[in-house]
Structure 1
Amino acid sequence: MQYLPPTAEDMERLKQALGKSSTEMAELFGVSSGRQWRKYMAADANNSRDMGMHMLFFAMARLELDAETFDRILNRMREVGATIEMDSE
């Protein structure tokens, strides 16, 4: 598998398309705050972060999967020993 992360511009386009704030994007991607989210959109290479495939997959799954399917996946993760507490739960 080869993965190249989306650019900061790609992430900005996604944010605009979804009409979400930085805080809402942070929640969607599972990062701690809007400030942390903005690091994925920074143009300055010294202050930017690449979007990891696992984080992008998590966010896209939250957008595309129905709640029942997403919960089933989280429960499967719990079955193998993960502790997961979603903020909205």
Structure 2
Amino acid sequence: MRYEAPTPEDLARLKARLGYTGSQMAELFGVSDDKQFRKYTGGKEPRKISAQMLFFAMAKLVLKQRDIEAVIDEMRKVGATMDMSEAAGEDTQ
């Protein structure tokens, strides 16, 4: 697989298109808070969004909740512990 991460500008456009706050973007991408998400959108050397992170976020945007839950159920079947509530934080995402 060949993958090139979206640029910080691409992520800013996505945020604007969705009308999301930084906290909402952090939740979408499975990071702990808006401060962590900003590491992908600014600074001297912004981090690159991994293909897995981008896939996770876009899946949450386009899949029906029952489909997301089916994937999470499969993850649990192989031993993962998952809590998708916002209060769960980054470690369990």
Q: Do they superpose with TM above 0.5?
A: yes
Structural mapping, 1:1-89, within 5 Å? 1-45=1-45, 48-87=46-85
Deviations 1:8-55 (A, max 9, x none): 00000000000000000000110011000011101521xx11000000
Q: More relative contact order in 1 or in 2 (CA 8 Å, sep 6+)?
A: 2
Conserved? CA contact 1:8–1:43, under 8 Å: no
Paired letter, 1:79? K
- Provide TM-score, normalisation by structure 2: 0.89
Q: Aligned partners of 1:20, 1:10: CA distance in 2, in Å? A: 14
Structure 1: which amino acid aligns with 2:65?
A
Distance in 1 of aligned mates of 2:78 and 2:37:
29
What percent of counterpart residues are identical?
Answer: 46
CA distance in 1: counterparts of 2:76 and 2:7, whole angstroms? 32
Please, what is the CA RMSD of the aligned residues? 1.3
